[in-house]
Structure 1
Amino acid sequence: MNFLTSAALRVIPGAFILNSGIGKIGMPADASKGIQDFAATGVPAVKEIPSDQFGTVLGWSETALGGALLAPFVPNAAAGAGLTAFSVGLLSLYFADDDNTEEDGIRPSEQGLSLAKDSFLLAIGLGLLVGGLFGGKKKNKKAKKAKKAKKNS
């Protein structure tokens, strides 16, 4: 995956997630509990985090993910794995409430449209992950052949 493609997939989601995370750090306990209750509809394990600290924990997690997406030294596969996991968590909120989807259980209803848009983050995460794991193979083979040919001449 070339630099411009990688940057296009990482910069905007990274900045958005970083900003979202910073906004949650140190949030009031009642707001933190509200977000935790909502998150628990899709990921019940978040109830194990003390409710007054949930917003800050989520905020630092989002800040770390946003920073990883923005940091050019973090490999695409690692940034993509983090974004994929994060977006799966967000989409679990979408699928946890039947009111978010049409009767087919997939297409978004008017209520679920804002959460369904997180599917774009899943696509970006998977693109970075797969591109990072398998995208450089052809280039590496060509480089190895060229190096071997140069060595043998």
Structure 2
Amino acid sequence: MKLRQAPPRAATGAFVLHTGLQKWKGDDATAEMLHGMACGTYPVFKKLTPQQFQRLLACGEIATGTLLLTPFVPGVVAGAALTGFASALLGLYARTPGMRQPGSVWPTQEGIALAKDSWMLGVGLGLLADAVAEYRGQE
């Protein structure tokens, strides 16, 4: 891992790992809320129970956070994982009614919790761009 990648990887990785660990211990009401929101955007998750979905989401967050925090994991791998995860979260933001102001990309009060995940997409894309620049010898 490059030294310049350490701050965004540490901050983002710690955040994502923490949220994954919190979801792992989540209650049934949280599982139902998360599952219901996800099923509206990604119908494939209807096959899972709310508790199964919550555990799957927690595992994804724990894995993504761990990849970001592990120094020997290449930036391209950590960046790809974070970019995929953040893209899925922003898909929820874009497709869930009431999250955005009408005709706008800007969030409503209810949408702020999902819209803030755009910074994770920026970090993931930054890690990927850094890997591409290194590969092309343009550092």
TM-score normalised by L of structure 2: 0.87
Matched residue, 2:125? 126
Provide the residue aligned with 1:66 in structure 2: 65
Partner residue, 1:20: 19
RMSD over aligned Cα atoms: 2.0
State the Cα deviation string for residues 97-149 of structure 1 (Å, max 9, x = none): 34222233312223222211111111111111121233343269xxxxxxxxx
Q: Which residue of 1 is the match for residue 30 of structure 2?
A: 31
- Residue identity in the other structure for 1:90: L
* Change over 3 Å in CA distance of 1:136–1:9 after alignment to 2: farther
C-alpha distance after superposition, 1:18-75 (max 9, x if no partner): 0111111143344322211112223222222232222112111111110000001111
Q: Is the 8 A contact 1:30 1:52 kept in 2?
A: no
Counterpart of 2:115 in structure 1: which amino acid? A
**Cα displacement (A) at 1:10:** 0.5
Structure 1 residues not aligned, in runs of 5+: 141-153
CA pair 99-50 structure 1, distance change in 2 beyond 3 A: closer
- Structure of larger gyration radius: 1
Quick check: 1:8 aligned with 2:42? no
Matches of 2:23 and 2:102, distance apart in 1: 34
Structure 1 residue 49 corresponds to structure 2 residue 29: no
Match of 1:88 in 2: 87
Runs of 5+ in structure 2 lacking a partner? none
CA change 1:99–1:74 in 2 (3 A) is: same
TM-score using structure 1 length:
0.80
Would you say the 8 A contact 1:10–1:69 is kept in 2?
Answer: yes
Name the SS for the 2:78 alignment partner.
Answer: helix
